Amino acid sequence: MATRCINYLMTSYKRPVYRKGFTLIELLVVIAIIGILASVVMASLNSARTKAKDAARIAEVKQLKTALELYYLDNGHYPVVGADGSGYPISYLSTHLTSSYIPTVPNDPDLASGIGWSYVRGPADAYGLRVYTEADGWCKTGANVNIGWWGATAAPLCDF
């Protein structure tokens, strides 16, 4: 009987089989983890991209405001591009500013609506720029800006 037990144990014992590679479940888990990490990284990059665009827009607006102030110092008034108090595309300023004050007049290339930034001149000592940032939406800035230009509620004053 002891011999039979030993023979049974010897014949029924098999060496463990070591598998090579990964199972389908392991691969799917790894792919899911990579997908989650990729979506988190893409969300962070999208936020950074928006902030970078807004920083570029603000820098362009400040450069344009500086050019307008230099024009005012040389001429005693801000550029006249049409009837005072009416809004015009910023591109209308190019004939006044690009020769001496700024290389090119900026315009927001990412604006989906196609309306673009606009300029309005009030009295000789006032002008306004209506600009767009993704963080704040439409706002207005300039010198002696009239709150009524472009509508009091449609475009608040910019904080830059």
Look up residue 74 and give its two tokens. Answer: 């040389």
How would you classify residue 114: left for phi > 0, otherwise alpha for psi between -120 and 50, otherwise beta? left
Look up residue 41 and give its two tokens. Answer: 């990284």
153 in a domain, yes or no? no
How many whole angstroms from its chain centre is CA 127? 26
46 in a domain, yes or no? no
10 in a domain, yes or no? no
At 9 the pLDDT is 57
CA angle at residue 105 from 75 to 147, to 5 degrees?
A: 70
Per-residue model confidence as pLDDT tens digits over 12-62: 556 666 767 888 999 999 999 999 999 999 888 888 888 898 898 899 999
98 in a domain, yes or no? yes
At 155 the pLDDT is 79
Q: Rounded to a whole number, what is the distance in angstroms from the first to the last CA of the chain?
A: 96
At 39 the pLDDT is 92
Greatest mean pLDDT among 54-58, 66-70, 84-88, 92-96 lies in: 66-70
The domain in which residue 79 lies consists of 54-143
**How buried is 64 (Cβ within 10 angstroms: 0-12 exposed, 13-18 middle, 19+ buried)?**
buried
Using pLDDT thresholds of 50, 70 and 90, give the confidence band for residue 73.
Answer: very high
- For residue 86, the 8-state DSSP code is -
48 in a domain, yes or no? no
41 in a domain, yes or no? no
1 in a domain, yes or no? no
Q: How many domains does the chain have?
A: 1
Tell me, what amino acid is at 111? L
pTM of the model: 0.71
Q: Is it the case that residue 2 has pLDDT exceeding 80?
A: no
Cα 48 to Cα 44, 54, 55, 134, distances in angstroms: 6, 10, 10, 12
**Distance separating alpha carbons of residues 74 and 51, to the nearest angstrom:** 35
26 in a domain, yes or no? no
At 33 the pLDDT is 96
**Distance separating alpha carbons of residues 104 and 56, to the nearest angstrom:** 15
